[in-house]
Amino acid sequence: KGRALGSSMEPSADWLASAAARGREGEVRALLEAGALANAPNRYGRTPIQVMMMGSTRVAELLLLHGADPNCEDPATLTRPVHDAAREGFLDTLVVLHRAGRLDVRDAWGRLPVDLAEERGHRDVAGYLRANAGRTEGGSHARSNSGEDPADISNLQNH
């Protein structure tokens, strides 16, 4: 009693990371609503947003609405979620991440997300990144007091 789901004493951090990695929106939603912490690392030290299925924008939105840090560096890959989305060409996921975080962050090797998108030939992603360089929609970790936008919440609840 008194422990939050997702603490080091609870397995929900592993469950949430696993559900996010598989793109299982319903499971992610249920775990978050039950109190799992969006930034709790799994047994490998990685958070759900770091291991999420990049093509699942709904999972990204849920994690971000529950306070996931969109600019956290992955201890295994030394990159951030925006680097992963740019490298793999997931423009929709990148746009979702941009709403909550920054696009101009460098990885451990000094590369920007635009560098990775260009290396892989993802022209649409690189174009978006260039057009939005230096701009953040949500600001660096900026959130309202509740951390949730009512319009986003109702939109998520309808899906």
- pLDDT single digits (tens) 98-114: 999 999 999 999 999 99
Task: Give the DSSP H or E segment for 21.
Answer: helix 12-21
SS3 content of the chain, % helix, strand, coil (to 5): 45, 0, 55
How is 60-113 classified by DSSP, letter by letter?
Answer: HHHHHHTT--TTPPPTTTS--HHHHHHHHT-HHHHHHHHHHS-S----TTS--H
**For residues 35-56, average pLDDT:** 95
Q: Cα separation of 76 and 71, whole Å? A: 15
* pLDDT for residue 156: 41
Global confidence as pTM: 0.78
**For residues 40-69, average pLDDT:** 96
- Asked whether residue 142 carries a pLDDT value surpassing 50, the answer given is no
Pick the CATH number of 54-157 from 1.10.260.40, 3.30.450.20, 1.25.40.20, 3.40.1280.10: 1.25.40.20
* pLDDT for residue 139: 40
